[in-house]
Amino acid sequence: MPNRRSFLRSAFAAPLFSTAAAAQEPQTSAIPGLPRLDDPAYWSKIRDQFPLSRDKVFFNNGTIGAMPTVVVNRMVEHIRKIAADIAEWDYRGPEWIGGYGDYPGLRGKIAKLLNADEKEISLTENNTCSMSYVGSGLDLPRDAEILITDQEHPGGQSPWLNAVKRHGGTVVKMVIPKPMNSAEEAFDIVRKSITPRTKVIAISHMISASGAILPVKEICAEARSRGILTVLDGAQTAGHIAIDVKDIGCDAYVGCFHKWLLAPAGNGFLYLRAERNAEVWPSIASGNWDNHSDNGYRLSQRGTGNLSVLVGAEAAMDFHNQIGPARVQQRIKYLGEYLRDGLRRIPKVKFYTPLDPKLNAGITVYGIDGMNGAQLQDAMWNRGRLRPRASSGIALRHSTHIFNSTDEIDRSLAIMRDLAKA
C-alpha cells in the first residue's frame, strides 16, 4: 500500500498542479514497464501497454485514440482522489478542477511537440471548440471570403459557415481531387482560389476522409505574403506526423490529444501565433478573458471542467514522449505502408488516399468495386472482429497506430482478398 504522502504525490503529479513547474523544463513522469529501445520484441511489448481486448482489433484511431493503461490508471486514480478528498481543497494552492488553471505542464508539453511557445497554446475541449474559437473570435469584414476545401470535417467547416451567416461574407469550398494527385496540384488549386477579398484560409493539414497531407507550408507562405490568416485543422496530425508550426508558418493550428496522442476524450488545443493572437476575441470569457500577457490562457477560459481528463492527457503526452515522437510517427507510417502495399496487390481495390509516400501516413482510405463503406465495415467486423471505419459512403478508413501489428493487417488483407474474389 502506498503511504498517504506518496499517494498524494502520484495522484497530483507536479506538472499539472505546480505553478513553480511553469518555470521549469517540461517534466515527464516515468511510465512503468516500457521496453528498452533495442528489445527485439519492442512493439509487441508496447502492445502490452494497452488494455485493448485481444479478441478485437482497433483500426479507427482517426475517430478516437485507444488509451494506454497508464493513462486510464492516472485518470481513474485522480477521479478517486477527487471523490475522496475534495474537502482538503483550501483554495490556496493549485486548482482541483479543470477550466480555471493555466496548466503549464500540459501546455508546455504540447507546445514542445509543435515547436510553439507555451503562451501561444490554449487548452480546449476538442478540435471543434478550437476551430470555433477562431471562427467566432475574429472581426472580419462583411464581404470577407473564407477558403476551405470540399473535404473539411463538419467541426472544421461549420464554425466558418456559422460566422458568415451571422456577420456576412462567403465560404468558398475548393475542390481537391480524391485521391489528391500531387502537392503541386493542391497548392495550385488554393493559389488560384485566392482573391483580394480572401481573409482566411482554413484547411486540414491532413484530410480526415482521405489521409492526404496538404502542402501547408507552401500555402501558408503564399497566404502570408498576401496578409491572409491561415488556420490549419490538425485533428488528424498531432501524435501522427511531425508538426513544426514555426516552419509551416501558419497563424493558427487546431488539434486534439484524444486521437493520435491517445488521451482521454475531451482534450483539445489551439495554437495561435503570438503576432496574431490578440486578433481573436474569447468566445467563452471568465476571469482571465483579457489577460494579454498570456494569450493562450486568455483563450483557455471555460469554467469548471474535469481535471481528471487533463491529468489523463498529460499522462498520454508522457507516454508519447517516452517512446519518442519520431519513433511513434515512423511506426505508424510503416504500418500504413504495409497495409497499402498489401492492398495494392488486390486488383479490385480503389484508393482514395494518395499513394505518394510524401502525401500519406497512417490513414488509408480505400474501397472495392461492388461494395459500399458500411458493407466493408461489417465484413471486417463479422469475419475478423476488425474495426476500421466506413468513410464517405463508399470506402473504408483504416487507421494504423503503435498498438497495431503486421499480423492484424495481414488478417485485414486476407478478408479484402476474399471480398475481391466475390
Ligand X SMILES: Cc1ncc(COP(=O)(O)O)c(C=O)c1O
Binding region for ligand X (CB under 6 A)? 63, 126-128, 153, 155-156, 204, 208, 233, 235-236, 256, 268
Q: For ligand X, which is the closer residue by CB, 269 or 297?
A: 269
In the bound state with ligand X, the residue whose beta carbon lies nearer, of 240 and 340, is 240
Angle, in degrees to the nearest 10, between helices 104-114 and 307-323: 40
Q: How far is the CB of 207 from ligand X (least distance, A)?
A: 7
Q: Which lies closer to ligand X via its Cβ, residue 108 or residue 268?
A: 268
Read off φ and ψ for residue 390, nearest 5 degrees.
-60, 145
Euclidean distance between CA atoms 137 and 282, whole angstroms? 6
Tell me how far, at minimum, the Cβ of 158 lies from ligand X, in Å: 10
Q: Which is nearer to ligand X, 82 or 365 (CB)?
A: 365
Angstrom distances, CA of residue 304 to CA of 14, 76, 190, 201: 20, 19, 40, 33
Distance of CA 245 to the CA centre of its chain: 14
Q: In whole angstroms, how close is the CB of 116 to ligand X at the nearest point?
A: 19
256 versus 299: smaller Cβ distance to ligand X:
256
Residue with Cβ nearer ligand X (150 or 410): 150
Residue 154 or 347: which CB sits closer to ligand X? 154
| Cβ-based nearer residue to ligand X, 12 or 59 | 59
CA 269 to chain centre: 9
Cβ neighbours, 10 Å, residue 196? 7
Q: Cell 461489417 identifies what position?
A: 378
The amino acid present at 390, given as its one-letter code, is A
Cβ of residue 125: shortest distance to ligand X, in angstroms?
Answer: 8
Least distance (Å) between residue 378 CB and ligand X: 21
Tell the smallest beta-carbon distance from residue 155 to ligand X (Å).
3
- Cβ 173 to ligand X shortest distance, Å: 15
Smallest gap from residue 299 Cβ to ligand X (A)? 16
Strand partners, 172: 147
> Which lies closer to ligand X via its Cβ, residue 233 or residue 408?
233
From the CB of 128, what's the least distance to ligand X, in Å?
3
Closest distance to ligand X from the beta carbon of 204 (Å): 5
Q: Name the residue nearer to ligand X (CB basis): 14 or 284.
A: 284
